[in-house]
Structure 1
């Protein structure tokens, strides 16, 4: 059986698919690819089903050796991709042969890149999913050097297109994330504070959530964001929820978010904004924009 021998992983590499929806009532998060659009694109370019498992790598550094002929692609955060010493295109599928080493460099913009191999990564499913959940520990373990990852059979017909030129461009201003009102949109002392001014991505962000803080370089920062009350019962929260704790720094819930929370969910990211938030790095400047404006 074709497999990938892991030589290096960078800061974090995990196996991801579209997650395990439908188990929140049991306390099980959905998990899955943080940038679902990039994951789906990777599978589409090698002819996999969209539920096939890919490798999600954070800030590059992934190196794998294939032990048989295979067909692979890298999507998501644009980065240098090499097959041995040969540069290969990002967002363009290519053939590899037994013994070839695939290397992903650090992204030029963004955070997470996706390596898909035709057939998908054949990890053992847990509750119907091969996704690694960094919060609950469900799914396959975090990928480590020395692991061998078998390639499965989640492939369909050969794709009609094997390349895409949708890589993100360098940011020249604040990144706009569209939001809709959340179930507790009325919980803020100042309802306009969430969408006023610029937020900055905090370094304490991960697959669980993106933490935002105010831009320290503003001479006239907007009013602080605070919930009107911090005493409320725990409620269910969904992917993309914008939760505001007492300190007033919003958290954008990502793929591995908890299924309940006690702080108000004042807004919810749109599907495209969820993918964009998954590519935010510390220091990125963000503006939250209501969809109804």
Structure 2
């Protein structure tokens, strides 16, 4: 059992989400940076899809009633556990029974993933243990006093180490469409010409950006249509929004392009004030 003493600014339980329910109006949700959750799980011998803890800007304190192997991936944080050697990113480490694990603020990036051998075993909803911040499905966001059960271990501990990622300029590759014809002919060029700044209003639903306005060529609004993670939706303000894991299954604003799946972890690690550039990846 793990007791949350302090969750930091925002922390939730996340696995790889609940796909297959969009036709019922249920978003997929799941880890915003799924690549980092998968890595953390592999490091402690878990299946990649087991639930872990997604920490936004770190600063959490967790009390381990029982000893456990854990691993951290994603935005790099300092970590220390009482009565234990120094802990770090990208390698499994042991947290003794009764120890408190303290996590600092990331040096860069936004979301850090904590995997525990056996996985976080809260009650699943529609086959997933993910907290969906938009629909409210799944467990509530973590708060002081939350108790998290841990499942039985399966498999062995990984022997390979994963070096922490290096900070790099944030660039998102975009496939145009499906509604790029709703914008002025040079709109994609405008999108890619200069960096955008991440807004304070960003969250797990989407990364809201401030920068050059994307001008419409057509008036009015679309009927609601299906949305995918990575869709760049443009409201009347002309300021783009990149949809993340908790995006709604439908939307009525036109989508000028879609961020390729391989770059979604980059989008998920953008914090307010960061700059991000777009580049067009031809094709549909």
Same fold (TM > 0.5): yes
Corresponding position: 1:102 with 2:97: no
Q: 2:215 aligns with which of 200, 223, 226?
A: 226
Q: 1:270 aligns with which of 247, 252, 260?
A: 260
Query: In the TM superposition, what whole-angstrom CA distance separates every residue of 1:250-283 from its partner, at most 9, and x where no partner exists?
Result: 0000010011111011111112211111100111
Corresponding position: 1:63 with 2:61: yes
Q: Number of aligned pairs? A: 279
Aligned 8 A contact 1:14 1:141 in 2 = yes
What TM-score, normalized to structure 2? 0.94
SS at match of 1:211: strand
CA distance in 1, matches of 2:222, 2:260: 25
Match of 2:233 in 1: 243
Match of 2:181 in 1: 186
Corresponding position: 1:202 with 2:199: yes
Measured after TM superposition, the shift of residue 240 of structure 1 is 0.8
In structure 1, list runs of 5 or more residues that go unmatched: 215-221
Aligned 8 A contact 1:4 1:64 in 2 = yes
Q: 1:211 aligns with which of 208, 211, 236?
A: 208
Measured after TM superposition, the shift of residue 53 of structure 1 is 0.3
In structure 2, list runs of 5 or more residues that go unmatched: none
Measured after TM superposition, the shift of residue 182 of structure 1 is 2.5
Query: In the TM superposition, what whole-angstrom CA distance separates every residue of 1:155-174 from its partner, at most 9, and x where no partner exists?
Result: 43214435210x23234xx4
RMSD of Structure 2 on Structure 1 (CA): 1.5
Q: 1:176 aligns with which of 171, 174, 183?
A: 171
SS at match of 1:106: coil
Per mean C-alpha deviation after superposition, the further-off stretch among 198-207 and 78-87 is: 78-87
